């Protein structure tokens, strides 16, 4: 028997690779057409190997009949076929890996010279918007990602990657294993698809590979050109998250131009960067919608496919070496999805390494991937060429019984759903022998049994050889490898430029808010009502003065309350964008912070001017230019201080519900401590008023209006007002500093 076995193996090895491939494919086709016939030939599921160690022991004990004379023949066929198949898979995996990478002109020097789109190409090619027909695509109307600039090639390898989280319950703490020993690799020029049922760990694996998930520390090793993750990679990695994180009020062109200005290296001029944005627009076929707003829940904008392409454009604009995409085709029709995957192919052809998760691809899509990882409950069920997946599963006895999209078949298997799928008879025998209810469902092996079988099949057949392959050093020179190791961060623009870009981007994004008639109406209506209520009020008696002081206190409270609740939204609303852009090292946090907090100031300071113009003269407050302007300055200072509080609460909580609750309690406390309602505050709590911007504003307003009447007004001593101004100025800076530090401490959310 041994002789027969070795001669069979020898024959297999002596055949040419193509012969083997043809035979294997033919066997697989035959198995797919008629799974039963292969059984009869002795090479079907039964002969495909006793893969489950546990199952095989059970089988040997329970089915002595199978260990008779025929076993020798069966074992021989099984072993020789399995050896042949293993050989094929190994060969195909290693041989095809670099084919596309080498065909792409991968320059081994690292510079940015910009994308080049020949003008004729642009003119000739029709735009590729969502209303294109599938025929256009078939006819090759799709634009190629034409890029003359070399890309730093990055070979990504990952071995035995595990990821566990601690789940803390009310009483208990449990460990959950999300990924369990995932091994694989992807090279420049290849598109690797991560497939698996919902919750199988695709996004977790993608974010780990993208270097965006580092807590809790994952097990195993992930290397980029045989080097561990370094900060340098942030600028070489593009990451397209599942949710499209874009500013809804910016147009497609604005979005990509700002990304180019912030992310491209300082060595490029502003014009070069803008040209790069235009090139990307053409390459992604977005020219027809380049001046359309992105849109969002409340604003109609570009279509879902266009939005996804903008997200991809945002990442490819930096000419990344590795591009990660989380479900780029979700929610898109099959034609648009195909277009996106075609685009990923073109991106890979330009020498980039592309890794994407994909939920349920059509068969046309499925065949476009070079490599495939199939996950089931966090375990690896298959890693290899996508085109070899069916061959592999047929080799372990799992084939579709009806014509089926391969992706659907693989997902069914990964889910343990074996309706319309043939599984090895040993799996049936197994569970029948044990007659375990938990292992059977309607007379079929349960999903858990199928899962265990698939995991063990992969471990025993392929895993070891894959791990060995990963030990081979990658074929690029040491210089190139060490580049990845650099810890130097390279900003695309200086601090000042970052500030200016972010400031103008903020102004553009919120330009609609500035001219929001709702806010203007709200403020002017309040002003008119106040003006009418205090119409031409006099201060000839203490009662009249107290009456008018009520108006001053209301102004102090209104312009304390309003800015806090507006500013609270600033950071929680932009959290996803901040996460995304900080993960990509697009700018310094300080530049973003200053730009974000100042770009709102024009409107925030314009409305109170309008308000005071109405109230001041209607209510007949002190009629002198100095008093008017000092009142105005006091209110503006109070607004900037109150904004600081709102920013600090928002940045600390980063959750609108909690932030608004805390803000309302704080604002109410400050209002009560403001010195109008309670005159005799108990000593032990009297310090509270010093924290209240209402208190300081009110005191300053009293001083401006009545210092010529009496040194003590409404129970408040009117001095030079420096203390109040100092306190408000300290609040302006202090609260902002607190907000900034809270943002600094904020942990980046993976995958957003
Ligand atoms: N930090 C975490 N804490 C607890 N559970 C987590 C955590 N991260 C992921 N999980 C769980 O791990 C599993 C895998 O999640 P993951 O998002 O990677 O799955 P997926 O395959 O991408 O799913 P989908 O296709 O639905 O997006 C899920 O059950 C998820 O709830």
Burial tier of 216 (Cβ tally within 10 Å: 0-12, 13-18, 19+): exposed
Q: Does the Cβ of 352 fall within 6 Å of ligand 1?
A: no
Mean pLDDT in residue range 458-463: 84
* Closest-lying ligand 1 atom to the alpha carbon of residue 378: 14
SS3 content of the chain, % helix, strand, coil (to 5): 60, 10, 30
- For residue 482, the model assigns a pLDDT of 73
Specify the 3-state DSSP secondary structure of 651.
helix
Nearest CA to ligand 1 atom 3: 165
- For residue 714, the model assigns a pLDDT of 65
* Closest-lying ligand 1 atom to the alpha carbon of residue 201: 18
pLDDT at 121 over 60: no
pLDDT at 555 over 90: yes
CA atoms within 13 A on the CB side of 151: 35
DSSP letter for 63, please: -
Nearest CA to ligand 1 atom 26: 198
Domain ranges of the chain: 2-98+391-468, 515-586+602-745
Residue 636: how many other CB atoms lie within 10 Å:
17
Q: Does the Cβ of 200 fall within 6 Å of ligand 1?
A: yes
Tell me the two tokens of residue 522.
């709200």
Tell me, in angstroms, the distance from the centre of ligand 1 to residue 297's CA.
26
Mean pLDDT in residue range 463-468: 81
Tell me, in angstroms, the distance from the centre of ligand 1 to residue 242's CA.
13
- For residue 81, the model assigns a pLDDT of 40
pLDDT at 102 over 80: no
- For residue 34, the model assigns a pLDDT of 39
Distance, in Å, from the CA atom of 94 to the CA atom of 462, rounded to the nearest integer, reads: 13
pLDDT at 747 over 50: yes
Mean pLDDT in residue range 363-379: 90
Mean model confidence pLDDT for the chain: 77
List residues bridging with 441 in a β-sheet.
Answer: 444
Residue 28's contacts (CB-CB under 8 Å, 6 or more residues apart) are 390, 391, 394, 395
Q: Does the Cβ of 377 fall within 6 Å of ligand 1?
A: no
**Predicted confidence band of residue 179 (pLDDT cuts 50, 70, 90):** very high
DSSP letter for 598, please: H
CA dihedral 358, 364, 366, 371 (to 10 degrees): -120
Query: Tokens 């993208």 map to which residue?
Result: 210
Distance, in Å, from the CA atom of 630 to the CA atom of 611, rounded to the nearest integer, reads: 15
Nearest CA to ligand 1 atom 25: 198
Distance, in Å, from the CA atom of 328 to the CA atom of 359, rounded to the nearest integer, reads: 9
- Report the range of poorest mean pLDDT among 96-105, 297-306, 457-466: 96-105
Tell me the two tokens of residue 307.
């939005």
Q: Does the Cβ of 376 fall within 6 Å of ligand 1?
A: no
Q: Does the Cβ of 201 fall within 6 Å of ligand 1?
A: yes
Distance, in Å, from the CA atom of 740 to the CA atom of 738, rounded to the nearest integer, reads: 5
Tell me, in angstroms, the distance from the centre of ligand 1 to residue 199's CA.
5
Q: Does the Cβ of 165 fall within 6 Å of ligand 1?
A: yes
Angle at Cα 594 formed by Cα 666 and Cα 661, nearest 5°? 20
Alpha helices in 104-182 (DSSP H): 119-124, 134-138
**Predicted confidence band of residue 715 (pLDDT cuts 50, 70, 90):** low
pLDDT at 529 over 90: yes
- Report the range of poorest mean pLDDT among 221-230, 566-575, 682-691: 682-691
Tell me, in angstroms, the distance from the centre of ligand 1 to residue 356's CA.
16
Mean pLDDT in residue range 134-163: 65
pLDDT at 93 over 80: no
- For residue 514, the model assigns a pLDDT of 64
Q: Does the Cβ of 199 fall within 6 Å of ligand 1?
A: yes
Tell me, in angstroms, the distance from the centre of ligand 1 to residue 345's CA.
27
Tell me the two tokens of residue 595.
């730009």
- Pairing assessment for the beta strands 191-195 and 371-376 based on DSSP bridges: parallel
Tell me the two tokens of residue 516.
């929001």
- The predicted model scores a pTM of 0.72
**Predicted confidence band of residue 505 (pLDDT cuts 50, 70, 90):** very high
pLDDT at 730 over 90: yes
**Predicted confidence band of residue 518 (pLDDT cuts 50, 70, 90):** confident
pLDDT at 479 over 50: yes
Nearest CA to ligand 1 atom 16: 201
Q: Could you give the ipTM of this predicted complex?
A: 0.96
């Amino acid at each position: 028997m041994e002789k027969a076995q070795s001669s069979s193996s020898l024959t297999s090895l002596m055949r040419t690779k193509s012969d083997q491939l043809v035979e294997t494919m033919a066997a697989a086709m035959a198995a797919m057409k008629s799974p039963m016939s292969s059984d009869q030939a002795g090479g079907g599921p039964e002969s495909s190997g006793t893969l489950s160690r546990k199952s095989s022991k059970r089988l040997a004990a329970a089915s002595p009949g199978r260990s008779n004379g025929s076993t020798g023949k069966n074992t021989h066929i099984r072993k020789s076929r399995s050896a042949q198949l293993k050989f094929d898979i190994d060969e195909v995996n290693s041989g095809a890996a670099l084919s596309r990478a080498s065909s792409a002109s991968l320059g081994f020097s690292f510079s940015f010279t910009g994308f080049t789109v020949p003008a004729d190409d642009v003119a000739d090619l029709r735009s590729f918007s969502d209303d294109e027909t599938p025929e256009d695509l078939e006819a090759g109307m799709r634009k190629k990602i034409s890029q003359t600039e070399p890309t730093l090639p990055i070979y990504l390898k990952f071995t035995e990657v595990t990821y566990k989280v601690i789940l803390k319950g009310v009483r208990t703490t449990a460990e959950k294993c999300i990924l369990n020993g995932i091994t694989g690799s992807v090279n420049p020029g290849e598109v690797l698809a991560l497939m698996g049922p919902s919750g199988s760990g695709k996004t977790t694996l993608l974010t780990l590979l993208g270097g965006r998930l580092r807590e809790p520390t994952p097990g195993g090793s992930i290397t980029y050109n045989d080097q561990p993750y370094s900060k340098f990679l942030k600028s070489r990695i593009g990451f397209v998250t599942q949710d499209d994180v874009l500013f809804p009020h910016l147009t497609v062109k604005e979005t990509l131009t700002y990304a180019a200005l912030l992310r491209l290296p300082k060595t490029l001029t502003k014009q070069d960067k803008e040209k790069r944005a235009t090139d990307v627009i053409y390459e992604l076929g977005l020219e027809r919608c380049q001046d359309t707003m992105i849109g969002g829940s409340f604003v109609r904008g570009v279509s879902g496919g266009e939005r996804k392409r903008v997200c991809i454009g945002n990442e490819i604009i930096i000419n990344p070496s590795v591009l990660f995409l989380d479900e780029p085709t979700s929610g898109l029709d099959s034609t648009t999805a195909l277009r996106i995957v075609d685009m990923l192919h073109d991106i890979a052809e330009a020498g980039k390494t592309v890794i994407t998760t994909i939920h349920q691809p059509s068969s046309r899509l499925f065949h476009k991937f070079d490599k495939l990882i199939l996950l089931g409950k966090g375990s690896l069920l298959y890693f290899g060429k996508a085109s070899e997946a069916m061959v592999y599963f047929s080799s372990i006895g799992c084939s579709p019984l009806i014509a089926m999209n391969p992706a659907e078949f693989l997902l069914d298997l990964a889910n343990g759903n074996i309706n319309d799928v043939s599984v090895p008879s040993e799996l049936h025998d197994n569970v029948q022998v044990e007659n375990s209810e938990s292992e059977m469902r309607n007379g079929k092996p349960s999903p858990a049994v199928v899962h265990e079988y698939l995991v063990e099949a992969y471990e025993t057949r392929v895993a070891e050889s894959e791990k060995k392959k990963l030990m081979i050093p990658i074929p690029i020179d040491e210089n190139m490898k060490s580049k990845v190791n650099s810890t130097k961060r390279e900003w695309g623009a200086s601090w000042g430029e970052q500030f200016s870009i972010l400031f103008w981007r903020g102004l553009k994004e919120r330009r609609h808010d500035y001219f929001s008639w709702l806010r203007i109406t709200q403020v002017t209506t309040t002003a008119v009502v106040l003006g009418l209520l205090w119409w031409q009020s006099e201060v000839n008696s203490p009662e009249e003065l107290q009456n008018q002081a009520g108006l001053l206190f209301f102004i102090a409270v209104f312009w304390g309350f309003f800015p806090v609740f507006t500013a609270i939204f600033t950071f929680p609303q932009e959290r996803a964008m901040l996460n995304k852009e900080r993960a990509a090292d697009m700018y310094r946090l300080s530049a973003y912070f200053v730009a974000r907090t100042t770009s709102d100031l024009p409107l925030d300071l314009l409305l109170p001017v309008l308000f005071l113009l109405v109230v001041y003269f209607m209510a007949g407050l002190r009629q002198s230019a100095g008093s008017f302007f000092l009142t105005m300055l006091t209110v503006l200072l109070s607004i900037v201080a109150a904004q600081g509080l709102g920013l600090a609460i928002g940045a600390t909580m980063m959750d609108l519900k909690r932030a608004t609750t805390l803000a309302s309690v704080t604002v109410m406390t400050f209002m009560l401590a403001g010195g109008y309602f309670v005159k005799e505050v108990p000593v032990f709590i009297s310090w509270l008023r010093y924290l209240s911007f209402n208190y300081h504003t009110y005191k300053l307003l009293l001083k401006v209006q009545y210092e010529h009447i009496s040194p003590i007004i409404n129970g408040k001593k009117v001095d030079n007002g420096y203390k109040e101004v100092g306190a408000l100025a300290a609040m302006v800076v202090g609260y902002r500093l607190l907000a900034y530090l809270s943002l600094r401490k904020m942990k980046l959310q993976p995958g957003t």
